Structure formats: C-alpha cells, structure tokens
Amino acid sequence: MASFQITGGRKLKGELIPQGAKNEALQILCAVLLTKEPITIHNIPGIRDVNQLIELLGDLGVWVTRTGESSYRFQASDVNLDYLETDTYKRKASALRGSVMLLGPMLARFKKGRIPRPGGDKIGRRRLDTHFLGFEKLGAQFNYDANDGGYYKVDASNLRGTYMLLDEASVTGTANILMAAVMAEGTTQIYNAACEPYLQQLSKMLNSMGAKITGVGSNLLTIEGVSELHGTEHTMLPDMIEIGSFIGLAAMTQSEITIKNCRIPELGIIPDQFKRLGIQMEFRGDDIFIPAQEHYQIESFLDGGMMTVADSPWPGFTPDLLSIVLVTAVQAQGTLLIHQKMFESRLFFVDKLIDMGAQIILCDPHRATVVGLNRQLPLKGIRMSSPDIRAGVALLIAAMSAKGTSIIDNIEQIDRGYQHIDTRLNAIGAEIIRL
C-alpha cells in the first residue's frame, strides 16, 4: 500500500492541463467491442481504472496499439469469448466496476455475455438493476448463479427494440443499454435516460460508427437498430471532475492557477457552484484562471437561507464533486449544507477533516453542515487513509492547505482517478512525496 507525504501551507502557481475524462473513458473503451474495424481514441487518461480496462480488452483478444502519449488504436476483430470462462477474467473484471459496461457491446455483437459482480468505490449501494431490466426489455435473458462463482450470464440471441422507462437516470446503465440497443432489431426508446456529457460523447462516437441515435443530450434517446458498426476516431473530453478539483485546490491553498483547455461549455453548472462559494475565476478563451484569494465568502439564498449544494442527475451538480465542494468550504467564510442524495457512504471521510480542525457536523449519512473557518485557524497535518477516489483528493486538498505534514495512506484509490497527481502538482509548487 502506497502513501503520500504532504507538506502543507505551500502556495502553488502555474498551469494545469486536465486529463481525459475517466467516466467517459470507461464507456468509450467498452464500445470498441461493437465492431471488428479499428477505432482510434485520443486523450485517454493514464489512470489505474482505465489501464486495467485496456488490459482486460487486450486479454479478450482486442488488438491494442499505443499511437501517442494519450492515444490508442483498438481492433476487436478476433475476440476470444472463451476468456470469459477463465478465473483470470473473473479476478480482473470483478476488481473494476467499469467492466459491467462490457456487457452491452457483448450482447449487441455476440448475442451473449458473462460478467462477475464488479467492484469499485465503497460509497454505498450501487445496484445494477437498471442495466439488467433494460437488457430484459430488449429481449435478453439473464441469470445470476451464486454457486457458479457469482457470475451474471446473459443470453441475447433475440434482441428487439422497445420502449423503456428507466427506474433511475443511471449513467452506466444508460450507456450499457444504449450500446446493446444500437444493433437490436427495430427501434428503441430510452426515457429517463442519463444525459451527462459522457453519454453525449458516447452517442456521438456511436453515430460516427454508423449507429442511428437521436435525442442526444436529452433524457429521451431514440435508437434505430443497425446490422453492423464501423471504425472511427474519437477525442475524449477533459475530465470535469479534475477541473472542479483544481478549482477547489486553488481556493483552499490561496494559489494562482490556470486550468488549460477546459471545454467550458461542457462543464454545465460546475463553475457556477464554485462561484457560489465566493471563488473568483476568469474564463480566458477555453482556460479558467483562478487568482490567489486570501478569503472567499459563501453566498446565501435570496431569502437569507443557508446555502445548500446537492447532487442531482445532469444537468444538475455531479455527485463526484460534492467531496471537493465540502473540503473547499472548510476555509470559507460562512456556512454550507452539503446534501449527498445518491450515495449513503460518501460523506464518511469528514471525521478525518474534523481531526484536522475543520468545523463540520455530520447530520446523517447524506448531509453535512460545514462552518467555514475563514482562515482564522489553519488545519493541522495528520495521518489518514483514502476511502475512495473523490474523498482521497478532498483529503489531499485539505493536507496541502494544512499546517505541518500529513500522510495519506491507500493512495491507490486516488491513482484510480487522477493521473500522476503528485508530479503534476509538484511541478507548480506542491511538496508531495510518494512513499
């Protein structure tokens, strides 16, 4: 288990280039199984989850060629479905939650699929019902056999288009069903579909491969099935979660940072939510400039009520940034209520912030009230452990703003979602040592 040793209190100055979007990558990479023709993908982040998925595709028989620093060429012309029966596949796929999105392409192209229960962050229940209910409505039959090592087996020999109303606007569920539907016979309509930029990117890529998807960017997708898909070239968006993390980092550490090539129109309300914390920023073309700020004040609602930041499906505020907003509010002036609606364990890192000196009341598993310190007291360095990707980076931000030295254990969680975060931040003035 690796750790970060962080010397806090350093002000950063310089430019940061966001990596490719992790959540988009996991969908886009699974989609290469939909065709035997080559697909080139640019701006792929070099992070643990993505690298594991690329390795898994290679094990399945996909030809993988690195063509640039963040570009790869994939060709799934000779997929070995027998690999799905191996213990190696079970071990690798069960360790990676994104592996569940291999099912949709498998069902579309090969009419069958098999996947173990996937892993991922320990942030609460993350059910797969939406995925399988959608597959069933397309005509697939699935079986979960705990006696067979805990595999989901799916037979999709007769996929037909249909209308479905999803029980939740699941991002991965929508992506999985969409990839299965593009080669189903007839027309499929998915209502209450997730419409995050990741889904829009996946839809654009599939359309460039020959799919017929309309309603992209809305919660009603219409898919006219086609018999085959072709190769394409696709460039991924910058990671909006990393961009938001850098905004929070700049405010907490009183740093002057320019975040380059942000694709600002694709960020939705993310910049506005950080502005509500009192954080100044300037849009310079497609870059975001955050000046060094000694103080930033949380706004109140128009009626004087306490500001609340809550997560909701796109175009609402992404749950992946609530941990960052929470930690950024620790040194703000004012009080903020964080309402994490989607995952009941995602706020269970605030005890570590409290140990550092933060004033936070954990109201229940879904809500926390942050009373900003307004820099009257610095956080103090402690030893702690990263429970998940986003909490890990929130703790890293806290440690970088603290007085003294902190150690964060289990940084493999951070590496799952942030590419070389220590070396990139050290290049603009941080002092982070990987132990």
Binding residues: 22-23, 97, 320, 342
For residue 387, how many C-alpha atoms fall within 13 Å in the half-sphere facing its CB?
14
**Cβ proximity of 405 and 10 under 8 Å:** no
Those residues with Cβ within 8 angstroms of residue 157's Cβ, 6 or more apart along the chain or in another chain: 111, 112
Give the tokens for residue 257. 């940072």
Spatial contact of 247 and 287, defined as CB atoms under 8 Å apart? no
Instruction: Please count the other Cβ atoms lying within 10 Å of the Cβ belonging to residue 143.
Output: 10
> Would you call 78 a catalytic residue per the annotation?
no
- Assign 3-class secondary structure to 384-396: EECCCHHHHHHHH
Up-side HSE of residue 375: CA atoms within 13 Å toward CB? 11
Counts of helices then strands in the chain (DSSP H, E): 14, 23
Q: How far is CA 335 from CA 251, 304, 332, 368, in A?
A: 16, 12, 8, 11
Rounded to whole angstroms, the Cα distance separating 142 from 153 reads 5
| 8 Å CB contact between 103 and 151 | no
Residue of 49, 59, 87, 121 marked active site: 121
> Angle between the 171-181 and 22-30 helix axes, to the nearest 10 degrees?
20
Selection from 183, 178, 185, 179 nearest residue 164 by Cα: 178
SS3 307: strand
CB 178 within 8 A of CB 297: no
Contacts of 173 (CB under 8 A, 6+ apart): 128, 130, 131, 134, 166, 194
Cα-only R_g, the chain: 22
Look at residue 88 and give its three-state secondary structure: helix
- The residue with tokens 């609602």 is 301
H or E, element range at 57 = helix 48-59
Residue ranges of the annotated binding site for UDP-N-acetyl-alpha-D-glucosamine are: 97, 320, 342
- Output the DSSP codes for 153-192: EEE-TT-B--EEE-SS--HHHHHHHHHHHTTSBSEEEEET
Tell me the catalytic residues: 121
